[in-house]
Amino acid sequence: MSMVLFDVPGPKARVRHKIMAVAGIVVALAAVAYVVWRFIATDQFSARRLDWINYKQIQLSLVEAIGNTLSAFAVGAVLALVFGAIFAAARLSDHGWVRAPAAVIVEIFRAIPLVIMMFFFYYGLPVAGVKLSAFTAVVISLMLYNGSVLAEIFRAGINALPRGQSEAAYALGMRKTQVMTLVLLPQALRAMLPTIISQLVVLLKDTALGFLITYEELLRWGTRIGNDAVNFGRPMIPVMIVVALIYIGLCLLLTWLANYLEKRNRRNKKVIHTDDDAAAQVQLGAASTATVGGGLTV
């Protein structure tokens, strides 16, 4: 039985795939060109459409909205990373009474939509006498949802490492905490870094859902300014374009950070090992070979 997921396409199939790809690109470019043309035809890009941003009060409120967005993102990202690390470690535990509840909690919060959690914490808890601010409700919701996703990312990254890595470390007499922190995590983090940054980008964009519970973030600022612009005879589209460009800029900054960290990790791999390091590597390799062979000979 073949081990591949699909047959390698032949010459005719490759030509057909290229034609479909070119046709798809042409259709996508045509759709974008039509939208841009309609914006130009309706005079959406003219300077007079953006005269509202020259007002000082609007600029100050924009800076405040960006600050609120970044505050919710920063606190939510840190808490989500901590939440994910703790529950990933719990799911990797050898004790069933720790592993099972952690798995239930992670699966529950992964399955609940983020909007429902925000509504529950902001509108539902006051019924039980617990009142949270909009910022707190947004941050807790971001932590629970994205932290559960990050927990699965951490767990999958550690489980993807060869078993020989941990077995060799145990053969050298390391405890499980040392194996996890000194052997497995440094290797897994390099592989998980792009996925972690991608999830943090999702978390940044999820802060926009806070406008549904009256959190004064960037999207809520845009809707308020856009409604005021409509009342003064100006369309909302230029306001939403500005908001979209700000979100794009923030996401590009996170992407740049991911690329920088990845290049830095590649540079850190290019080190010159001393004799002691080489001896340690030989000892670790010998222990790994002995473990795979079925007996631990230290």
This prediction has a pTM of 0.76
**pLDDT exceeds cutoff 50 at 295:** no
Q: Which ranges in the chain belong to alpha helices (H)?
A: 11-41, 56-91, 96-111, 114-119, 134-159, 163-171, 176-178, 185-206, 218-231, 237-269, 275-293
**Mean per-residue pLDDT of the chain:** 81
- % the chain with pLDDT above 70: 84
Residue-level pLDDT at 270: 52
Please give the torsion angle defined by the CA atoms of residues 219, 221, 223 and 224, in that order, rounded to the nearest 10 degrees: 160
State pLDDT tens for residues 253-283: 888 887 787 777 677 655 444 444 444 444 4
Domains and CATH numbers, the chain: 72-217 (1.10.3720.10)
Query: 150 with 76: CB under 8 angstroms?
Result: no
Q: Exposed, middle or buried by CB within 10 Å (0-12, 13-18, 19+), for 157?
A: buried
Residue-level pLDDT at 206: 92
Of 246, 245, 248, 228, which Cα lies nearest the Cα of 51? 228
Among the ranges given (11-20, 47-56, 251-260, 275-284), the one the predictor scored with the smallest mean pLDDT:
275-284
Query: 287 with 168: CB under 8 angstroms?
Result: yes
- Mean per-residue pLDDT, 192-209: 89
